[in-house]
Chain A
Amino acid sequence: MKDKVFYRVLGIVTCLGILSMLLLLAFTVYLYKDCSIISYIANRG
């Protein structure tokens, strides 16, 4: 694989990785707003 292509793919994988983390964090915040203390404790065990 040429270096130029490799770095481009590396950049895309990094962007997708960061994007997935941000989406997961946003989803967590969304769930947090609606979660009751009872559901939270049921999940924690």
Chain B
Amino acid sequence: MKLIKQLAMLFGLAGFFILIDIFLFNIFTSRYIDRRSAEMKGQSIEVSKFLPFDEGSQLFHADSEIKIDENIPVLDGAAALLPVFSSVAEALYPEESILFDGNEYADGSSLRYTNTRGSYKALVDGDADIIFCAKPSEEQLQYAKDAGKEFVMVPVGYEAFVFIVGKDNPVTDLSAEEIRGIYTGKYTNWSQLGGEDAPIDAVQRNKGSGSQTTFLGFMGDEKPVKKLYGTLFGKAIGFSFRYYVDGINKNPDVKMLSVGGYYPDAENIANGNYPLSSCFYAIYLKDNENPNIQSVIDFCLSEKGQEIVEKSGYIPL
């Protein structure tokens, strides 16, 4: 009898830990697993796939009659815009000015890639001359101000800021006010918005990222809040740029929402019907005296430059 009790305790204890692990896996671990196939993961931004002067590159290859051989402005920018500014570099710069060590761009290269936060810092610190990004965050503007620098922002193309949900979520359209209501806690259950009875997990990104900055601009004076219950058990809504969702990082298990009745397709973005379309910019410092900065900007706004924007998956001006 004693042995049976002892075995029951041991198996009970082991079962307890197994149940805890299953609970932890289902509630936390499983939500962070990237379930895309290896082929789809390969569509994510990898610098080596967008190398200028590389035959196997996925870049759109544009020609330019203008070539910049000296005082070459260093280009940098956001991940999603790498195909654009890499293509611009290929069109304007000599091949030997772009230094890639197999994993990343080397010191002294006229093309760099440090993503949104890194490139804004590089611009202010003088490590980059022109960056391709969405609007700067308050912190990035303050960083420039503290350094006595001022940004000049030139719109180069249109992109749409999109809200995304799981593909099985029956909600397909929300108004801008409803979305703000989700993030301020006014709406906490999808059933309040025509969906199923499930808490809303309103996801945000890390501070300083391009999409988080755009999101905070979208929220205006309204402060987003985080609901723990929705985080643990809810169905999610989040945001990104259209190019990430529908282009390089396409995931069939998410869908973009229409906003105010307009779906973020190329037509609705170009004609302005989709309310959350916004520009992305070529940004440089006002006191940068490199004479070729204007040449790069002029090229971006030219027919060839706008063709790069379009062929890279964005909406030209």
Contact code string B2-16 (vs A, CB < 8 Å = 1, else 0): 110010011001101
Interface residues of A in 17-36 (CB under 8 A from B): 17-18, 20-21, 24-25, 27-28, 31-32, 34-36
Task: Give every chain A residue within 8 A of B238 (Cβ-Cβ).
Answer: 37-38, 40-41
Interface residue tally for chain B (C-beta within 8 Å): 46
Q: Quick check: A38 and B17 within 8 Å, CB to CB?
A: no
Contact code string B28-45 (vs A, CB < 8 Å = 1, else 0): 111111111000000010
Q: Quick check: A39 and B35 within 8 Å, CB to CB?
A: yes
Roughly how many angstroms separate A31 CA and B316 CA in the complex, as a whole number? 36
Task: Give every chain B residue within 8 A of A25 (Cβ-Cβ).
Answer: 24
Q: Quick one: which of B6, B24, B203 contacts A21, CB cutoff 8 A?
A: B24
Q: Quick check: A45 and B235 within 8 Å, CB to CB?
A: yes
Roughly how many angstroms separate A38 CA and B35 CA in the complex, as a whole number? 11
Which B residue sits closest to A37, measured CB to CB?
A: B238
Roughly how many angstroms separate A20 CA and B155 CA in the complex, as a whole number? 52
Task: Give every chain B residue within 8 A of A27 (Cβ-Cβ).
Answer: 29
Q: Quick check: A24 and B24 within 8 Å, CB to CB?
A: yes
Q: Does B239 reach chain A (CB closer than 8 Å)?
A: yes
Task: Give chain A nearest CB distance to B193 CB in angstroms.
Answer: 16
Task: Give chain A nearest CB distance to B117 CB in angstroms.
Answer: 16
Roughly how many angstroms separate A38 CA and B32 CA in the complex, as a whole number? 10
Task: Give every chain A residue within 8 A of B167 (Cβ-Cβ).
Answer: 42
Q: Quick check: B16 and A39 within 8 Å, CB to CB?
A: no
Q: Quick check: B251 and A17 within 8 Å, CB to CB?
A: no
Size class of the contact patch on chain A: 20 to 34
Roughly how many angstroms separate A14 CA and B169 CA in the complex, as a whole number? 41
Q: Quick check: A10 and B21 within 8 Å, CB to CB?
A: no
Roughly how many angstroms separate A27 CA and B30 CA in the complex, as a whole number? 10
Q: Quick check: B13 and A44 within 8 Å, CB to CB?
A: no
Q: Does B185 reach chain A (CB closer than 8 Å)?
A: no
Roughly how many angstroms separate A20 CA and B172 CA in the complex, as a whole number? 40
Q: Quick check: A10 and B10 within 8 Å, CB to CB?
A: yes
Q: List 15 A-B contacts (CB under 8 A).
A: A1-B3, A13-B10, A24-B25, A25-B24, A37-B205, A37-B239, A38-B238, A38-B249, A38-B251, A38-B254, A40-B31, A41-B164, A41-B165, A44-B166, A45-B236
